[in-house]
Amino acid sequence: MDAAAIEEMFQGLGPVTIKRMFGGKGIYHMGRIVAVEVRGEMLLKADERSASEFAAAGATQWTYEGKKGSPVKMPYWSIPDDAYDDPDVMARWVRLAYEAALRAE
């Protein structure tokens, strides 16, 4: 995903900064990481307060296999499908990600 597409995706939140990290990209708003792009997929930050909303919308949590073969859950979730077709819906999800980033501080 190029910078213009990422900026458009997050326009409901405001200006974002994009930094390369971990073979992907970190997306920041107001100095806080709100999303990561991993292997071409954008994942939004969530926490114990917002993760249930992501799950209820059909999003999946980013997990990877740890050193001992156990799954490691990361605080990032896929974007619900309906958000890609509606900027207002996307704005809601990216705001939830920013709220989770604020609570993480």
Domain positions in the chain are 1-101
Residue 3 structure tokens: 């910078």
Q: Which amino acid is at 38?
A: V
What is the enclosing helix (H) or strand (E) of 83? none
Full-model pTM: 0.93
Which SS3 state, helix, strand or coil, does residue 66 take? coil
Question: 38-75 as b/e, with b when 16 or more CB fall inside 10 Å?
Answer: beeebbbbbeeebbeebeebebebbeeeeeeeeeeeeb
Q: Rounded to the nearest 5°, which phi and psi values hold at 93? A: -70, -40
Kindly give the confidence (pLDDT) of every residue in the chain, 105 residues in length, as a single tens digit, with 9 standing for 90 and above.
889 999 999 999 999 999 998 789 999 999 999 999 998 899 999 999 999 999 999 999 999 988 888 999 999 999 999 999 999 999 999 999 999 999 997
Residue 23 pLDDT: 84
Residue 75 structure tokens: 């605080």
Fold of 1-101: Yope Regulator; Chain: A, (3.30.1460)
Residue 1 pLDDT: 84
Residue 34 structure tokens: 């709100």
